Structure 1
Amino acid sequence: MTATETARNRAVFGCFHDATNSGDLDVIEKTIDEVVAPDVVFHAPVPMETTGAQALKQVWTVLLRAFPDLRVTAEDVLADGDKIVCRNTVTGTHRGEFRGMPATGKPVSYSEIFILRFAGGRVAEIWGVVDVLTQLRQLGALAA
């Protein structure tokens, strides 16, 4: 992987990250269509009935319905070869149904780490680890 390809991957990641913080599902879905391979392999701790880019769009639909003010702050972004690793802090307010729970109005702040593998300038594979335990505790679904 050349320095130019790594820089291109960082730029693609930045574009995707900016879209996710727009709060606009149309912008996010359009960006997914532009920068994510249609058959992306998506490994994450969420049940999915779809695969590929459609699964990623479904994740954002669920998240924005539940947390319309969702913000993802990239704390660390590391690029090596065809991969980018990002450690994020996610914040938002629970304003809609999430994991079977009605809106609570409670704020959440939790951590996640994602690894994105790029091929041909597009995201080809995603691994994610999300601190769902902290998220559910903050929403009152689990005892502290």
Structure 2
Amino acid sequence: MAISPLTVDPIARRMALVDEHVRCENAHDLDGVIATFGAGARYDDEPWAEHHEGLDGVRHFYSSLMGAVPDLTIEILKRYVSADNIILEVVIRGTHLGAWRGLPATGRKLAIPLCGIYTFDADDRLAGERIYYDRATVLRQLGVFHEPQTFIGDATTFLTHPWTIAKALARKLGGK
């Protein structure tokens, strides 16, 4: 029996696992995604300071995401590989067709640049996935965030931050 290079090379083994993980995400195979994690699984969505621990917690995160964006796809742009971590730069695309973080479905298209850091346990299963992306980009694409330089942004700022606006105007009028 020949020994597979994936068996010998731990980095290749880990890269194959991450590839399988992304393949399962793109196939919307929730059980397949969860199978890439080890028993001590962790998922960290850093922009929201949201942390999911254990296989059930990670499953809940992915189930919510796949329900909100049922046509989700992940395109890998770049990979950075070290002995301990694999980092992917990706673009996540899809349509917001289900409730997400209290926001009902908007039907809007999403294209979110994202960086994911994958760590591994002693059995070379995923110990964790930590993601970073710009929340404002997501909220803008969903139609709930507007730049302050726009009319809607100005109105929203004025209505939600009247004290801040009043202080800024007082400084401006006072010459400070």
Q: What TM-score range do you get, normalising by the shorter chain?
A: 0.7 to 0.9
Q: How many residues matched?
A: 138
Q: CA deviation at 1:126?
A: 2.4
**RMSD between aligned residues:** 1.9
SS at 1:121 equivalent: coil
Higher RCO (Cα < 8 Å, 6 or more apart): 1
Q: Is residue 10 of structure 1 aligned with residue 5 of structure 2?
A: no
Please list the CA deviations of residues 102-132 of structure 1 after superposition, one character each: whole Å capped at 9, or x if unmatched: 1111101111111111122101132211222
In the alignment, structure 2 segments of 5+ residues that lack a partner are 1-7, 148-176
Q: Which of 139, 148, 151 is the matching residue for 1:136?
A: 139
Please list the CA deviations of residues 74-127 of structure 1 after superposition, one character each: whole Å capped at 9, or x if unmatched: 111121102100011011111111111111111011111111111221011322
Q: CA deviation at 1:141?
A: 1.2
In the alignment, structure 1 segments of 5+ residues that lack a partner are none
Please list the CA deviations of residues 50-72 of structure 1 after superposition, one character each: whole Å capped at 9, or x if unmatched: 52222221121111111110111
Q: Is residue 66 of structure 1 aligned with residue 58 of structure 2?
A: no
- Give the match for residue 24 of structure 2: 19
Relative to its length, the structure with more strand (as a share) is 1
In 1: Cα distance, 2:143 partner to 2:24 partner: 29
Q: Which of 98, 104, 111 is the matching residue for 2:100?
A: 98
- Give the match for residue 51 of structure 1: 53
In 2: Cα distance, 1:136 partner to 1:28 partner: 25
Note closer, same or farther for the CA distance 1:41–1:94 as it changes in structure 2 (3 Å cut).
Answer: closer
The list of structure 1 runs, each at least 4 consecutive aligned residues, that deviate by more than 3 angstroms after superposition, is none
Q: TM-score, normalization: structure 1?
A: 0.86
The answer to whether the 8 A contact 2:94-2:111 is kept is yes
Relative to its length, the structure with more helix (as a share) is 2
Q: Is residue 77 of structure 1 aligned with residue 84 of structure 2?
A: no
